[in-house]
Amino acid sequence: MQLQYLYIILVAICICGCSEKKNKEMTPWGEPIDDDTTAISSNLSMDDMMQNGELIMLTMTGPDTYFDYHGRGMGTQFLLCEKFAQHIGVSLRVEVCKSVEEMLRRLKDGEADIIAYQMPKATKGTIPCGYAVDSLKTSWLTSKDSKELADSINNWYTPKLIAQIQNEERLRYSTQSIHRHTYAPMLNAKSGIISQYDHLFIKYSPIARWDWRLLAAQCYQESCFDPKAYSWAGACGLMQIMPSTAAQLGLPMSKIYDPEENIYASARYINKLNSSFQDVRDPLERQSFVLGSYNGGSLHIRDAMALARKYGKNQYKWADVAEFVLKLSTPQYYNDPVVKYGYMRGHETVTYVARIHDRWRQYHGAARGSGATQFLPDITPGGDTPHKASRKHRFKL
């Protein structure tokens, strides 16, 4: 009997031990993680951050904070935080939140290192640091346990950095950010020849399922027919292909400036965008949605469509959607719950689409394409050489 009772007691102890082990968070190798270990991992020191090689920033979308611009993060506070990350030799990861409460919760839970957003300096459980607007008593925040990080930011930050970054932003938004020669909008108007690449537009336009002159009009908007054009964001060649897009399409960087490869890749990308907007049934309307996505990103265009639907407009009509593409630069709209991807510089995208369509109409009346296919890739149509545009012959870019 005594042995039987002893056996029952041992079994009970094992069951309790297993139950306690199951209730605890386990490491991948099966050991329980105690509370002290969890506490240490949630508040990383500067040394831990340097070893991890990453600074995690919380923010909310906006023109002064953070937004996606041609596949590149922008916003004064983001760029400032990025410079600090470069200063300490780590990468920057951005986590976009929907509310102040979400940012504070995630900082407290150890999910990030810094809130790069104008927050009240007196916020409980945090340390104010870095970018500050004294008149509003706001600043960036770190956790109360991250004094070393806060001190490092404060020792690095100076107000003159703001003016420097804002100047860089203005340059990037200007046409000076694209390095290119400006060639005439038509190489030989009398002969109906748009450019020396007409044979390539004709060859690859069926892939895009577009009129070849629309492809040519887009090319002029992107690069002014300069095959060596490049932008600060990394867009390359005639059709300003981004390296990330080139990788998706299997276009190696060694060939990204090749006129034929660049146009071919662009046609495939347009085809891909065209397929993703099949819910826009009218093919002519769909062209505008595709052009808008090529310039501003399809996710932002989908946000504008969601707003159009919410406000009783036709989400499949570009004129209605363009209204909300423009409004995505206004807090009332880019903070709307139906908007998933935040702020965008909508006026650039709307202008981009309008100018390409205007040029396409001009090309459609002037360029027939009858002689363009007669020329080999290394021969300029009509025997002419590319010539820079005179002021009187320039279209608006």
Please report the pLDDT score of residue 71 as a whole number: 79
Which stretches of 144-234 are DSSP H helices?
147-156, 160-173, 198-208, 212-223
Domain range for 126 is 42-173
Output the DSSP codes for 50-102: HHHTEEEEEE--BTTTBEEETTEEE-HHHHHHHHHHHHHT-EEEEEE-SSHHH
Structure tokens at 343: 């702020």
Q: Are residues 361 and 226 in the same domain?
A: yes
**Total number of domains constituting the chain:** 2
Q: Is residue 20 in a domain?
A: no
pLDDT the model gives residue 189: 83
154 and 100 together in one domain: yes
Supply the pLDDT for residue 238.
97
Positive or negative CA dihedral for 10, 11, 16, 19? positive
Exposure of 375 by Cβ count < 10 A (0-12 exposed, 13-18 middle, 19+ buried)?
Answer: middle
**pLDDT tens per residue, range 327-384:** 999 999 999 999 999 999 999 999 999 999 999 999 988 776 544 433 333 333 333 3
* Whether the predicted model's global pTM rises above the 0.85 cut: no
Residue 106's pLDDT is: 97
Residue 140 shares a structural domain with residue 224 = no
pLDDT of residue 180: 72
Q: Tell me, yes or no, whether 359 and 260 share the same domain.
A: yes
Phi/psi at 381 (5° precision): -55, 140
Query: Residue 21 falls within a domain, yes or no?
Result: no
The CATH number for 213's domain is: 1.10.530.10
Residues 166, 184, single domain; the answer is no
Domain end, chosen from 173, 192, 218, is at: 173
Listed residues 121, 150, 173: the one ending a domain: 173
Q: Helix crossing, 346-366 with 283-296: angle to 10°?
A: 130
On whether both 158 and 247 belong to a single domain, the answer is no
* pLDDT score, position 24: 52
Same domain flag for 263 and 338: yes
The pLDDT, as a whole number, for residue 174 is 64
User: For residue 54, which phi and psi values (nearest 5 degrees)?
Assistant: -150, 135
Residue 22 resides in a domain: no
Statement to judge: residues 208 and 318 lie in one domain: yes
Looking at 154, 173, 192, the residue that finishes a domain is 173
Q: Are residues 264 and 158 part of one domain?
A: no
Same domain, 46 and 86: yes
Q: What is the pLDDT of residues 167-220, one digit of tens each?
A: 888 777 766 567 777 777 888 888 889 999 999 999 999 999 999 999 999 999
If asked whether residues 294 and 351 sit together in one domain, one would say yes
Domain for residue 88, yes or no? yes
User: Does residue 187 share a domain with residue 99?
Assistant: no
| Residue 336 pLDDT | 96
Residue 6 within a domain: no
Kindly provide the b/e burial profile for residues 95-122, where b requires at least 16 CB atoms within 10 angstroms of the residue's own CB.
ebbeeeeebbebbbebebbbbbbbbebe
**Residue owning tokens 């025997």:** 383
| Phi, psi at 170, each rounded to 5° | -60, -40
Distance separating alpha carbons of residues 233 and 231, to the nearest angstrom: 5
**Residue 2 within a domain:** no
3-state helix, strand, coil in the chain (%, to 5): 55, 15, 35
What pLDDT does 4 receive? 58
Asked, for residue 225, whether it belongs to a domain, the answer is yes
CATH at residue 158: 3.40.190.10
Q: Are strands 230-231 and 138-143 parallel, antiparallel or unpaired?
A: unpaired
Q: Which parts of the chain register pLDDT below 70?
A: 1-45, 174-177, 368-397
Position 7 in a domain: no
